[in-house]
Structure 1
């Protein structure tokens, strides 16, 4: 599967009901798991070649509407169709998507032990009767897909909470690693839109909570509790992925300037503080909370305060990854032309 298709699938899967925290009792586990996942995803997003595809302002504006449409569609499906039937279809979908996500997550570790040409030589497979449809992959990706396939089979058969969480974390890491906002302006538009989206669907309708409880798929992390009436707490993947891609952009901004990560630290601390605040408020009111209500202002606020303190607001707002993607090649060309002269 190509990167753009994988990004779209991950994004839609996360946004469907992502931003939600419901009855979280093991607070420390939630904070450590979510924060560590964001940290890993951010550092995996730093690559020698800047991303060639970034999100536009228009796509960022449409994202909350796409997420709302998906969320409402699922709510209606669960309302008018058998819950078991819907979850069976979703299990098949996430079985395939889970293999892709796990394989991509494991690939950097596995390919170190494989021959070099296995990592570089592309194999193109075309669908029978649909020759225009093709999949590109390497032998290393096939090897990485073997444990992913067995693991997803275990999840599909047992639906164990640990298997659910590992798949969910793979989705989060891949989403943060691969999805580029392009600029902080686009990121602010996306987070602001989802900030409103989250508040509306949690506080003003029963849709988000209803789908979260009915949806038996790895788009939420499950944490066992001592309460027999409610055996698991839930944390939506969007509470990790959505702010995570913004925090990752801060890290790549630091790297592009050739300095030690500094704004990444403030954005990451802001994420952790926002998550802690979400859990505190939720436990205080004993009700589901839209996590982005607390995480978005915290992440943007910590980063903005740090930039204002250092006087780097202009540089931050002018940063655009789609433009920096060509800068290494341009600088190389400039050097070679000077040598010729």
Structure 2
């Protein structure tokens, strides 16, 4: 299971999918249903809504009770769908499809309904639509599973009163702290690993800066290096891929799951093998094709494949599989930072700035381009695609922060930590805070370069330490803006300036900017001594 060019291609393909939108918050709510308008029999059901539309009361005590009118035999796309008796002062339940959510809400509002709930037989997501349209809405709009509507009538009968509310979500949650720790520790550990000696190969981190001595070594070095040209191509492919995901999410998500399961198994193996090889016991080998292979490494490979297979089978079991998923994700990030080498600071600058532009464009600019004025990045991160409730087919959008509520497939390219929202989580599933792998790996490549530069110049880890601290500061800034705005944030918007500026200032203050910028284009005359002279290698 040695890491080869096939693994690198799969890993690059996976990273380009989603650089990550840090998300926290919730758009879930509760429909409290009463039999005959009394509190003697009450049932609660999960609903989802768009927080930018009409706000919901924060508690059942503050919510208004309405008579529920079941019109699930119609989609309410035309005024003729309104029954002769009207829908005035009622909470109306209609079926999803044939027209937009905005259109349904406008008809309900024109006919003096007090609230609209759309029943969906597919996965439920918060509704979406043009801002100019939903700003005119004066009634709450929510989505509910059609199965829950049938269950509600079976348990409570036909005469039902109902109220809509959404319990508040605390702005600070333990999940944010856990994500912070995971991100910073992963970046620090992966970068440090990138700079230490590998006893299994006999090569040190300093060899990354020396000119190749053979054609084979040169080929291997190039296959693990992002040059400025490959950086530009990489970002272009990123852009194409996320657009494809936006339009063809239902099919491409399974391709991503397949790639991740393979990449995760290989990454976990390489991370654990680095530890196992340091154990001086149980080194029994057996011959295989003119080679001798350690039995313990074969067993380790089988174990890693089995772990990845367990994740594939139980990937939608949110209550516990997120732990396994995060472990595989951390291994993937660590192995990626260890394997992919940035040859110089110039490549780091080009990569981080281009991906920052990419991230900001697909989060903040695409709402001005898409038909429904929604962010492509957030839709893909949330597990949906185009369609957005504008047609009868396709998933609806989720703008903010929670994971999809039904068993639709999710992109496995994020660190996921469940939030502590027990009142809603019991009904709606577990909401998660998310951080994309790209928000760990992309700045991590710069931190790893700083670590290798420290090793090369015998700089006592000054670049590595300061850049890691800068990454942590960038994460804190991301959390602060996330909490203040209550909107999904492109973390690279804060991580890139913090890490790039810190690295550049450090190199400038130490009068090493030229060497730091050129990277492997320079060779130390005496890398282990005190001399700081450098000459150009090529």
Same-fold call, TM cutoff 0.5: yes
TM-score by length of 2: 0.54
Contact 1:60 1:187 in 2 (8 A): no
Determine the structure 1 residue equivalent to 2:273. 107
Q: Summarize deviations over 1:188-243 as a string: whole Å, max 9, x none.
A: 11111101000001112221111111162431010101233561111000000000
CA distance in 1 between partners of 2:295 and 2:450 (Å): 34
**Aligned 8 A contact 1:94 1:217 in 2:** no
- CA drift at 1:100: 1.1
1:178 CA displacement: 0.5
Contact 1:118 1:139 in 2 (8 A): yes
Cα shift at 1:143? 2.6
Q: Tell me the number of residue pairs that the alignment of Structure 1 and Structure 2 aligns.
A: 311
Give the deviation of 1:163 after TM superposition: 1.2
Which secondary structure state, in structure 1, belongs to the residue aligned with residue 415 of structure 2? strand
Structure 1 distance, partners of 2:330, 2:414, is 9
Counterpart position of 1:151: 307
After superposition, residues 1-341 of structure 1 pair within 5 angstroms as: 2-23=3-24, 25=173, 26-46=175-195, 47=197, 48=204, 50-51=207-208, 52-53=221-222, 54-78=225-249, 83=250, 86-113=252-279, 118=285, 141-159=297-315, 160-205=321-366, 206-214=375-383, 216-227=410-421, 228=425, 231-320=431-520
Distance 1:151 1:237 in 2: 20
Task: With a CA cutoff of 8 Å and minimum separation of 6, indicate the structure with the bigger relative contact order.
Answer: 1
Aligned counterparts of 1:213 and 1:115: Cα–Cα separation in 2:
46
Gaps of 5+ in 1: 126-136, 329-341
Could you say if the C-alpha distance between residues 303 and 143 of structure 1 is closer, same or farther in structure 2, counting changes exceeding 3 Å? same
Question: TM-score, normalised on structure 1?
Answer: 0.83
Greater Rg, structure 1 or structure 2? 2
Measured against aligned partners, the alpha-carbon deviations of 1:27-73 in whole angstroms (never above 9, x if no partner) come to 21111110000111011112315342322110112221111111111
- Once the two structures are TM-superposed, the CA of residue 179 in structure 1 deviates from its matched residue by 0.5
Question: Partners in 1 of 2:255 and 2:442 — Cα distance?
Answer: 26
- Which protein has the bigger helix share? 1
